């Protein structure tokens, strides 16, 4: 077990808490940069998909895990990012300006959605975002002149400073670079006053407000930032799938992103990565599993969402802190090894009191 002796306040907000972390994160970085040269190009493609999920997940985590606002409509932001980017690209914009504009546009929309959301809490907000997502889905279907309607629209191939980056390997590095930038941005945000204000709102709105945090401003900002990250993921997703159609951005995607956040571990950026791997590779695992199951079971319609649902239910009941929470517990067990007490991680229960009048 490691005890850190703090000698300055600056240490509290350092990115790396101690040398060990520098070493392990460095090793991780070297691994992700070296890995694609040793694995099959199919898995390189899958990994870049995982990175895209992780970028969108970072956005949702900032909202759900750190600000405590629930959104059931993040597929809409993904779609807005993807379509804006594809639209700009088809009109001759270069890659980076197009991605940046699409991201900013998505966060603008996110802020606009966030404004009415300020008056709502919990479930109302969830449903409002759900309604927003369904409306956006219909807009994508019916605004044929921009989105191509049901036929969809092709996405131009990505070119960075005149170099094609649509092959699996270079696209992998492009996604990886953007993911790392996003994670650093999120980390920086979280250690800034704004990030701490967001966490204060998550823990108690009333006490946050009494300490002088501007609720409306912080919540709108959280929404805008979250939407921006998700829109950025949408831009990459557009290149990844190559052809946009409204049925790629359904309610199921929003819920998958929420599953990512919950299964990974609410309130941790590590959780985003674990969750992204979970979401990215579970369909592969199910597909592999299908070969070994009797046809009667493997042919069930909706098997994949069903398994997603089952895993979500099991996680929420048995490990509400997700994969990251489980990892913390395992690590704690070994750190304390002979002295580990079972009650350390007992969950607190609370009694609910309603805010209703009748």
- Number of neighbours of residue 21 by Cβ within 10 angstroms: 13
Stretch that binds another protein, among 17-25, 79-87, 130-138, 284-292 (CB under 8 A): 130-138
Stretch that binds another protein, among 41-49, 166-174, 255-263, 338-346 (CB under 8 A): 255-263
Q: How far is CA 15 from CA 4, 186, 222, 268, 280, in A?
A: 14, 11, 21, 14, 27
DSSP secondary structure code for residue 342 in this structure = G
User: Least distance to another protein from the beta carbon of 286, Å?
Assistant: 12
Interface with another protein in residues 339-358 (CB under 8 A): 349-358
User: Least distance to another protein from the beta carbon of 259, Å?
Assistant: 8
For residues 31 and 350, which CB has a smaller minimum distance to another protein in the complex? 350
How far is the C-alpha of 333 from the C-alpha of 313, rounded, in Å? Answer: 25
For residues 95 and 257, which CB has a smaller minimum distance to another protein in the complex? 257
User: Least distance to another protein from the beta carbon of 311, Å?
Assistant: 8
How far is the C-alpha of 153 from the C-alpha of 150, rounded, in Å? Answer: 9
242 binds another protein (CB under 8 A): no
203 binds another protein (CB under 8 A): no
91 binds another protein (CB under 8 A): no
User: Least distance to another protein from the beta carbon of 188, Å?
Assistant: 26
For residues 20 and 320, which CB has a smaller minimum distance to another protein in the complex? 320
Q: How far is CA 324 from CA 164, 258, 267, 330, in A?
A: 37, 15, 10, 10
From residue 299 to residue 338, the character string flagging contacts with another protein as x (rule: CB under 8 A) and all else as - is -xxxx-xxxxxxxxx--xx--x------------------
User: Least distance to another protein from the beta carbon of 121, Å?
Assistant: 9
Q: How far is CA 197 from CA 71, 125, 140, in A?
A: 19, 19, 35
Instruction: Work out which of 20, 97, 122, 242 binds another protein, going by CB under 8 A.
Output: 122
Handedness of CA 177, 181, 183, 184 (dihedral sign): positive
Q: How far is CA 179 from CA 24, 173, 230, 266, in A?
A: 18, 10, 12, 19
Using DSSP bridges, classify how beta strands 153-154 and 243-244 pair: parallel, antiparallel or unpaired.
antiparallel
Q: Which helix (H) or strand (E) holds 244?
A: strand 243-244
Return residues touching another protein (CB under 8 A). Answer: 64, 68, 70, 116, 119-120, 122-124, 126-128, 130-132, 134-135, 138, 141-142, 206, 210, 255, 258-259, 262, 297, 300-303, 305-313, 316-317, 320, 349-358
């Amino acid at each position: 077990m490691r005890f850190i002796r703090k000698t300055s306040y600056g240490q509290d907000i350092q990115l790396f808490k101690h040398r060990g972390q520098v070493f392990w994160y460095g090793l991780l970085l070297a691994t992700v940069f070296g890995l694609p040269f040793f694995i099959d190009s199919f898995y390189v493609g899958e990994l870049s998909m995982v990175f895209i999920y992780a970028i969108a997940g970072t956005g949702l985590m900032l909202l759900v895990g750190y600000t405590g606002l629930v959104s059931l409509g993040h597929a809409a932001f993904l779609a807005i990012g993807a379509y804006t980017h594809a639209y700009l690209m088809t009109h001759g914009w270069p890659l980076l300006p197009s991605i940046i504009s699409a991201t900013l546009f998505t966060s603008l929309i996110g802020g606009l959605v966030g404004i009415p959301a300020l008056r709502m809490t919990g479930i109302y907000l969830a449903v409002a975002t759900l309604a927003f997502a369904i409306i956006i889905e219909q807009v994508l279907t019916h605004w044929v002149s921009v989105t191509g309607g049901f036929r969809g629209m092709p996405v131009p191939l990505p070119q960075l400073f005149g170099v094609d980056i649509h092959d699996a390997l270079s696209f992998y590095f492009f996604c990886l670079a953007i993911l790392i930038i996003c994670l650093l941005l999120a980390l920086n945000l979280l250690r800034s006053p704004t990030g701490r204000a967001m966490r204060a709102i998550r823990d108690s709105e009333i006490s946050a407000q009494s300490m002088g945090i501007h609720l409306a401003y912080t919540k709108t900002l959280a929404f805008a930032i979250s939407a921006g990250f998700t829109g950025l993921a949408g831009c990459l997703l557009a290149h990844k799938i190559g052809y946009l159609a409204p049925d790629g951005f359904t309610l199921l995607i929003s819920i998958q992103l929420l599953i990512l956040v919950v299964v990974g571990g609410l309130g941790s950026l590590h959780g985003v990565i674990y969750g992204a791997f979970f979401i990215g590779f579970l369909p592969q695992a199910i597909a592999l599993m299908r070969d070994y199951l009797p046809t009667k079971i493997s042919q069930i319609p909706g098997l994949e969402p069903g398994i997603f649902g089952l895993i979500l239910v099991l996680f929420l009941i048995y490990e509400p802190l997700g994969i990251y929470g489980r990892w913390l517990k395992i690590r704690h067990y070994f750190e304390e090894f002979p002295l580990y007490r079972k009650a350390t991680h007992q969950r607190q229960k609370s009694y609910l009191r309603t805010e209703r009048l009748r």
